[in-house]
Amino acid sequence: MSIERRRGAILISGRGSNMVALLQAAQAEDFPVDFTLVISDKIEAAGLGVATGAGVKTYALKTCRQGQAAWEAELSEALVEAEVEIICLAGFMRLLSAKFVEDWADKILNIHPSLLPDF
């Protein structure tokens, strides 16, 4: 039995070890997400090369001189263009604004481990 998969993006900041786990999980026929895009806030993130090697489109956003709102607008544009329905924050180290989170409400999962509720 085949399920309808949702288009997903993975946001990373470094090596992408959690991204690799997600991409491997997505190989299963019954996994609900097809990851079609990996975005990093760091151009030099090693995970971008790993994603490219796995055949996943990548996009790197560098710091925007116009501020966080402009940076997040570019991020949203990339997500919309890729028709993303689910965003997985997998070791993504940038803080996202309340507006961005509200705009993508019910579509963001943060899988980065941390010492909650401290961080």
Positions marked catalytic: 112
Give the separation between CA 53 and CA 88, rounded to whole angstroms.
19
Burial of 106 (0-12, 13-18, 19+ CB in 10 A): exposed
Q: Which residue has the tokens 């039995």?
A: 1
